[in-house]
Amino acid sequence: MNTPIKSEAFSIMTQATAGLENPAIDEWKAQGGKTIGYFCSMLPEELFLAGGLLPFRMRATGSEGTDGGDSYFTNNNCTFVRHCFSVALDGGYDFLDGVVVINSCDQIRRLYDNWLHKDISPFVHMVALPRQSGPDQVEWYTGEFHRLRKSIEEHFKVEITDKGLREAIAVMNETRRLQREVYELRKRERPPITGAETMAIMVAGTAMPKVRYNELLRELLTELETRELETTYRARIMVTGGILDDPTWMEAVEEVGGLVVTDGTCFGGRLMHCDVDEDIVDPMEALSQYYLADRPSCPRMIDTQVKRKNYTVDLAREFNCDGIIGEKMMFCDMWQVEQFMMTMDLKEEEIPFLKLEREYITSGTGQLKTRVQAFIETMGK
């Protein structure tokens, strides 16, 4: 990623983003630490932290193809799961001591089946996610967290105490507050940071120890306070969608004049929109309430479409966006339906909207740039 930011803190974060295993994980492992991968932002990092584990959000950065995965998945499975499984078969996740999967979609469920079939990780656990976010579902999801807690304790020979959970919640809430400060800076007419740079920061937060990450964020925020972008832009853009962990995709949007000032993705804004309620007595209930009901959801939750629409519209207006780009993975049925609904909702709100379909790995960006450039021109920019 091309960036004028010369900060040491930012350099460390981009190292954590550029590949899978990184210096921060290497150092953690060298000290005897255990690392656990997890497949969805609706899984509780706090629970892993309280068990002394380093949580790593699963991605397939650096994958060069899906040949291995194609032997186990059909061509109409999304390329995220095919790249992930190809990396797994090649030993790319050997630094992980276990993996936690969630039934977020049929694609991930089939990934779980094949993961077990090939015996890739010494520890594999499936968490069942409800499709609604009401009080009954929060209670049920709390039970799923208790089951995960027991499974981790038994396999890794650790004790996850309520005190440890509260401490982990406090650390993660600090992470969220610091990340929101980064986003606040992007409300400026001349923000000090681009969308691509912000994505690198957010992805880094899923791949390194949280206490260290918070230290780096505080250092970076001090430097960003006095910085201004030297480049010009023609339109302020919001990006919404599912899995997007590649800063070069954002970079391509910004190279044709669309400055990404906010987002509603599961590696970005939806991670830190609000905090876990530390006043709830039972920390497991607090986690379930947060991950299932309080934070902005994705289309997996069938009772929150209106909330997602309001969240998207409010965010676009709060950041003074000229238009919204909705990105989705090919063959993702949930985001396909969501984009159909969003097209109608945003038309009513008179907010320009561009739908973009993408593969997991960003390759040739010519078509992407052409479509974004045309979108910006239709807005009179």
Q: For 217-249, write each residue's pLDDT tens digit.
A: 999 999 998 887 777 899 999 999 989 999 999
Low-confidence winner among 129-143, 223-237, 315-329 (lowest mean pLDDT) = 223-237
Burial code of 220-249, b = ≥16 C-beta within 10 A, e = fewer? bbeebeeeebeeebbbbbbbbbbbbbbbbb
SS3 state at 311: helix
Burial code of 188-205, b = ≥16 C-beta within 10 A, e = fewer? eeebbbbbbbbbbbbbbb
Q: Which CATH class is domain 169-378?
A: alpha beta
Across the range 271-284, mean pLDDT stands at 97
Which amino acid, one-letter code, is at 110?
R
The CATH topology of domain 8-162 is: Rossmann fold (3.40.50)
In eight-state DSSP terms, residue 290 is I
Q: Torsion-angle region of residue 330: left (phi > 0), alpha (psi -120 to 50) or beta?
A: beta
User: pLDDT tens for residues 333-357?
Assistant: 999 999 999 999 999 999 999 999 9
Helices 210-224 and 8-18, interaxial angle, to 10°?
Answer: 130
- Using pLDDT thresholds of 50, 70 and 90, give the confidence band for residue 2: low
C-alpha to C-alpha distance for 42 and 254, rounded to whole angstroms: 29
Burial code of 148-161, b = ≥16 C-beta within 10 A, e = fewer? bbebbeebbeeebe
Kindly tell me the sign of the dihedral angle through the C-alpha atoms of 373, 273, 146, 148: positive
Residue 40: closest CA among 139, 86, 109: 109
Whether residue 6 is predicted with pLDDT greater than 80 in this model: the reply is: no
C-alpha to C-alpha distance for 16 and 200, rounded to whole angstroms: 8
Task: Name the residue ranges covered by the structural domains of the chain.
Answer: 8-162, 169-378
C-alpha to C-alpha distance for 199 and 249, rounded to whole angstroms: 10
Q: Do domains 8-162 and 169-378 have the same CATH topology?
A: yes
C-alpha to C-alpha distance for 201 and 180, rounded to whole angstroms: 12
C-alpha to C-alpha distance for 7 and 190, rounded to whole angstroms: 19
- Using pLDDT thresholds of 50, 70 and 90, give the confidence band for residue 123: very high
Q: Is 104 exposed, middle or buried (0-12, 13-18, 19+ CB in 10 A)?
A: buried
User: pLDDT tens for residues 143-158?
Assistant: 999 999 999 999 999 9
C-alpha to C-alpha distance for 260 and 100, rounded to whole angstroms: 32
Q: By the 8 A CB rule, do 213 and 278 touch? A: no
